[in-house]
């Protein structure tokens, strides 16, 4: 398949890895931002094929993992109400809340449905006018345009029984937070190609300059990732710190302006609480006041939520690149994909799930 197979050619990937081996002179710590990158790196064994001087640490770019516990509990509270059809992407159903998850709500008779697009949720609202239909609008810049579009569609079609529980987060403020931490070990970033397809990469230029850190935008195939690491190592070895686009077949500097205008029409920036990490200023989006009637938090008045996180879960440290999954005492013992204690073991983009799935136990 064009644009996929040629980026999986083993000889090409080996050639790039050999180039990395030739130029690396010292130890470097590189963070891949996105959980999709983490899974691809482990799936294709790139983490094991790199020279030992290159350490990959895993970033916070897994939307399911960073959705705050408070919002998960709010989702569960809303989904438990008798007149509600609660729609969500599938991964969210098994994410542990303080007491239970959305699957348990469904098992107890709640109407929790998996959808593949927020527009499916709008259609469900249209077909069930006697019900309140709520969509769990989670995600990074990648999901924001479609999530925002669902609200625009609902308004255009006069659908009053549709609302969204918003948990939109953004990558650049999280990079600022990671780089500002006194414990930060990250010396270079692999930025996520799909986020940059929407937003472009102009937002990363001041980050590279301010923190003197190379940032390379990559795709998700093994050759994309190997080339991204090579370009990052080249910059580190040359003591340069700029933004490079190693995914030009999808990413431009300015991104998808139509998608950005849809985001800006519906959302405005806000502080967001990231699960396990805490509040990062201006790191997310919320509905603008003119769209408040579609705000599920307002519609259902879910405010006084008391959260209770698992005391053993260290996913917040993993998402900041400070720990690896096997360093968690629960990894693979009392925490498994079948019995997850934290969101990073649930999500198809979670680092703990990747280590478990691909047998990285140490």
Q: Which residues bind ligand SF4 (CB under 6 A)?
A: 312-315, 318, 325, 328, 330-331, 335, 340-342, 344-345, 352
Residues forming a β-bridge with 243: 215
Burial of 184 (0-12, 13-18, 19+ CB in 10 A): middle
Are 295 and 166 in contact, with CB atoms under 8 Å apart? yes
* Shortest CB 75 distance to ligand SF4, Å: 19
Number of C-beta neighbours around residue 205 at 10 A: 13
Nearer to ligand SF4, 61 or 325 (CB): 325
* Shortest CB 322 distance to ligand SF4, Å: 12
* Shortest CB 333 distance to ligand SF4, Å: 9
Nearer to ligand SF4, 204 or 356 (CB): 356
* Shortest CB 317 distance to ligand SF4, Å: 8
Nearest-angstrom CA–CA distance, 92 and 346: 8
Nearer to ligand SF4, 170 or 335 (CB): 335
In terms of phi and psi (left: phi > 0; alpha: psi -120 to 50; beta: otherwise), the region of 79 is alpha
Nearer to ligand SF4, 145 or 325 (CB): 325
Calculate the alpha carbon distances from 116 to 106, 135, 136, 147 in Å: 18, 11, 12, 11
Nearer to ligand SF4, 135 or 355 (CB): 355
* Shortest CB 335 distance to ligand SF4, Å: 3
* Shortest-Cβ-distance residue relative to ligand SF4: 342
Residues forming a β-bridge with 166: 137
Nearer to ligand SF4, 144 or 354 (CB): 354
* Shortest CB 40 distance to ligand SF4, Å: 19
Residue among 96, 44, 10, 29 at smallest CA distance from 341: 96
Contacts of 21 (CB under 8 A, 6+ apart): 51
């Amino acid at each position: 398949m064009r644009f996929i197979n040629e980026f999986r050619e083993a000889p090409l990937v080996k050639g790039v890895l050999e180039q990395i081996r030739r130029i690396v002179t010292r130890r470097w710590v590189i963070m891949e931002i996105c959980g999709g990158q983490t899974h691809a790196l482990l799936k294709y064994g790139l983490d094991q094929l790199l020279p030992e001087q290159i350490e990959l640490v895993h970033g916070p770019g897994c939307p399911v993992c960073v959705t705050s516990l408070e919002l998960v509990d709010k989702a569960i509270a809303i989904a438990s109400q008798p007149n509600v059809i609660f729609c969500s992407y599938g991964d969210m159903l098994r994410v542990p809340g303080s007491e239970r998850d959305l699957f348990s709500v469904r098992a107890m008779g709640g109407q929790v449905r998996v959808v593949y697009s927020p527009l499916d949720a709008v259609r469900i609202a249209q077909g069930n006018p006697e019900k309140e239909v709520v969509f769990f609008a989670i995600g990074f810049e990648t999901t924001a345009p479609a999530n925002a579009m669902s609200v625009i569609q609902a308004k255009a079609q006069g659908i009053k029984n549709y609302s969204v529980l918003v948990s939109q987060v953004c990558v650049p403020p999280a990079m600022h937070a990671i780089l500002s931490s006194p414990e930060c070990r990250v010396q270079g970033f692999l930025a996520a190609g799909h986020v940059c397809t929407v937003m472009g990469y102009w937002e990363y230029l001041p980050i590279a300059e301010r923190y003197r850190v190379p940032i390379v935008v990559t795709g998700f195939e093994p050759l994309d990732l190997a080339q991204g690491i090579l370009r990052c190592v080249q910059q580190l070895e040359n003591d340069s710190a700029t933004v490079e686009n190693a995914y030009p077949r999808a990413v431009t500097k300015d991104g998808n302006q139509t998608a950005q205008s849809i985001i800006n029409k519906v959302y405005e920036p806000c502080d967001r609480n990231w699960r396990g990490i805490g509040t990062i200023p201006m790191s997310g989006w919320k509905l603008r006041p003119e769209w408040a009637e579609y705000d599920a938090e307002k519609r259902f008045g879910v405010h006084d939520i008391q959260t209770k996180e698992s005391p053993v879960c260290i996913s917040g440290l993993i998402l900041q690149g400070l720990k690896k999954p096997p360093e968690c005492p629960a990894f693979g013992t009392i925490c498994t994909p079948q019995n997850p204690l934290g969101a990073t073991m649930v999500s198809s983009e979670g680092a703990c799930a990747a280590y478990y799935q691909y047998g990285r136990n140490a």
